[in-house]
A = this chain, B = another copy of it.
Amino acid sequence: MPDSATLQALRDAVEAAFDEELRFLADIVRFQSLRGREAPLQDFLARWLAGRGYAVDRFSLADVPLTSHPKAAPMVEVDPAQSIQVVATRRCGEANGRSLILQGHIDVVPEGPAEMWSVPPYSAAVRDGWLYGRGAHDMKSGVAAMVFAMEAIRAAGWCPAGDVHVMTVTEEESTGNGALATLLRGYRADAVLIPEPTGGTITRAHTGTLWFRLRVRGVPVHVAVAQTGSNAITSAMRLVQALENHTVTLNREARSHRWYSEVMDPIKFNPGIIRGGDWASSTPAWCEVDCRIGLLPGSDVQEAMAAVERCVAEAARGDRFLEENPPEILWHGFQADGYALEPGSEAEAVLAQAHRHAFGEEMGARISTAVNDTRYYGLYYDIPALCYGPRGEGAHGFDERTDIEFLRTTTLSIAAFIADWCGLKPLE
Most buried by B among A264, A281, A368: A281
Cα–Cα distance between A397 and B370 once the two chains are bound (Å): 42
Q: Which of these binds chain B: A48-56, A227-235, A253-261? A: A227-235
Cα–Cα distance between A287 and B279 once the two chains are bound (Å): 16
Residue of B nearest to A275 (CB): B275
By the criterion CB–CB under 8 Å, are A272 and B268 in contact?
Answer: no
By the criterion CB–CB under 8 Å, are B287 and A226 in contact?
Answer: no
On chain B, the residues within 8 Å of A113 by CB distance are 285-286
A138 CB to nearest B CB, Å: 7
Residue A273 interfacial (CB < 8 Å): yes
By the criterion CB–CB under 8 Å, are A222 and B397 in contact?
Answer: yes
Residue A225 interfacial (CB < 8 Å): yes
Set B209, B278, B291: member contacting A112, Cβ < 8 A? B278
By the criterion CB–CB under 8 Å, are A278 and B396 in contact?
Answer: no
What string of 1s and 0s marks CB contacts (under 8 Å) between A277-317 and chain B?
A: 11111111111011110100000000000000000000000
Residue A329 interfacial (CB < 8 Å): no
By the criterion CB–CB under 8 Å, are B272 and A282 in contact?
Answer: yes
Set B240, B264, B285, B397: member contacting A221, Cβ < 8 A? B397
A326 CB to nearest B CB, Å: 16
Residue A388 interfacial (CB < 8 Å): no
Cα–Cα distance between A240 and B227 once the two chains are bound (Å): 17
By the criterion CB–CB under 8 Å, are A292 and B223 in contact?
Answer: yes
| Also in contact, A369 and B225, with CB within 8 A (given A281-B109, A281-B396) | yes
A415 CB to nearest B CB, Å: 28
What string of 1s and 0s marks CB contacts (under 8 Å) between A356-378 and chain B?
A: 00000000000011100000000
Cα–Cα distance between A240 and B231 once the two chains are bound (Å): 12
Residue A6 interfacial (CB < 8 Å): no
What number of copies of this chain does the assembly contain?
Answer: 2
By the criterion CB–CB under 8 Å, are A279 and B110 in contact?
Answer: yes
Cα–Cα distance between A270 and B234 once the two chains are bound (Å): 9
By the criterion CB–CB under 8 Å, are B273 and A277 in contact?
Answer: yes
A152 CB to nearest B CB, Å: 30
Set B211, B219, B264, B281: member contacting A272, Cβ < 8 A? B281
What string of 1s and 0s marks CB contacts (under 8 Å) between A393-404 and chain B?
A: 011111000000
Residue A224 interfacial (CB < 8 Å): yes
Cα–Cα distance between A234 and B276 once the two chains are bound (Å): 15
By the criterion CB–CB under 8 Å, are A280 and B292 in contact?
Answer: yes
| Also in contact, A222 and B274, with CB within 8 A (given A209-B281, A281-B209, A291-B280) | no
Set B209, B229, B270, B368: member contacting A283, Cβ < 8 A? B270
By the criterion CB–CB under 8 Å, are B285 and A231 in contact?
Answer: no
By the criterion CB–CB under 8 Å, are A282 and B110 in contact?
Answer: yes
A117 CB to nearest B CB, Å: 11
Set B173, B207, B279, B290: member contacting A396, Cβ < 8 A? B279
Residue of B nearest to A213 (CB): B280
A275 CB to nearest B CB, Å: 5
By the criterion CB–CB under 8 Å, are A112 and B240 in contact?
Answer: no
Residue A36 interfacial (CB < 8 Å): no
By the criterion CB–CB under 8 Å, are A370 and B223 in contact?
Answer: yes
Which A-B residue pairs are the 3 nearest by beta carbons?
Answer: A224-B370, A282-B396, A272-B280
- Interface CB pairs A-B, < 8 A, 20: A109-B279, A110-B278, A112-B282, A207-B224, A211-B280, A222-B395, A224-B268, A224-B395, A229-B397, A233-B240, A233-B289, A234-B271, A272-B280, A272-B282, A273-B279, A273-B280, A274-B274, A281-B334, A281-B370, A285-B398
Known: A109-B278, A112-B282. 15 other contacts (CB 8 A): A173-B279, A209-B281, A211-B280, A220-B396, A221-B394, A221-B395, A221-B396, A223-B292, A224-B368, A231-B270, A233-B271, A270-B281, A271-B277, A274-B274, A281-B396
